[in-house]
Amino acid sequence: MRFHLCFIALALCVTGCGEGTGADAGALTDAGVSRDASASDGGASDAGSMDAGAADAGTDAGSSDAGGDGSDAGSDAAVPGDGGTGLADAGTGTSVTLRDVAAYANCMPTVSPDPIIVFWTVDVSDAVGPMATVTDAKLTVTGSSIVMQSLNVDTPSFALSGGSASQMQRKTAAPGTPMDACRTLCGAGTTYELELTYDIGGVAYGATDTGSFSCVY
């Protein structure tokens, strides 16, 4: 009887121990799942961190580098742009005008081969350059006939002071001889046109004057 009870107790102990071991194994399995989940979570978290880093890198490159270069290019484009306007303004403000112009024929008893006399004063202001030079001078007289002369000028070049000057000039000669100027150019209604071109600082400026052409005896 006593032996039988011991055998039953031993069987119960073996059964209980087996169930406890199974529960522990299940717990270990659950723990393994938890580790897997943690690893998975950790991986996802790491991946998220990498994605966030990539996004930050892209944002930094776009905001500082690209924007900065564009701004610099705009400034440089603007620089060249400011120098060209100043030169144009300086040229536009230059004034070259004629005054006290006289054009007539000296028809005294002793008439020279070319009796046509021309003189004038030129005023230059707000110019850019140290000198003004006559590069072309032309006189056209229109009466019963038309006489055109290309003039040689005394003092063709003169200095400018502060971009300004006034200079008296006159015709010294003209190639060719007008045909009987004192007969064909002394009638009423005869007119002249004086056209001059001056070079100032490499820029050509024109000045023109018109009026009545007369003869003196």
Query: Which residues lie below 8 Å from residue 126, measured CB to CB, with a gap of 6+?
Result: 90, 93, 94, 95, 163, 164
- 74 and 173 in a single domain? The answer is no
CA 133 to chain centre: 30
Owning domain of residue 109: 93-216
Which residue did the predictor score with more confidence, 139 or 86? 139
- 103 and 68 in a single domain? The answer is no
Residue 153: other Cβ atoms inside 10 A: 19
- 167 and 109 in a single domain? The answer is yes
CA-to-CA distance for 207 and 217, rounded, in angstroms?
30
Domain count, the chain: 2
- 115 and 151 in a single domain? The answer is yes
- 1 and 87 in a single domain? The answer is yes
CA-to-CA distance for 198 and 202, rounded, in angstroms?
10
Give residue 92's pLDDT: 59
- 176 and 100 in a single domain? The answer is yes
User: Could you tell me the CATH number of the domain that includes residue 158?
Assistant: 2.60.40
- 128 and 52 in a single domain? The answer is no
pLDDT tens for residues 110-146? Answer: 777 899 999 999 999 999 999 999 999 999 999 999 9
- 27 and 73 in a single domain? The answer is yes
Which residue did the predictor score with more confidence, 70 or 175? 175
Taking residues 82-95, what's their average pLDDT?
Answer: 48
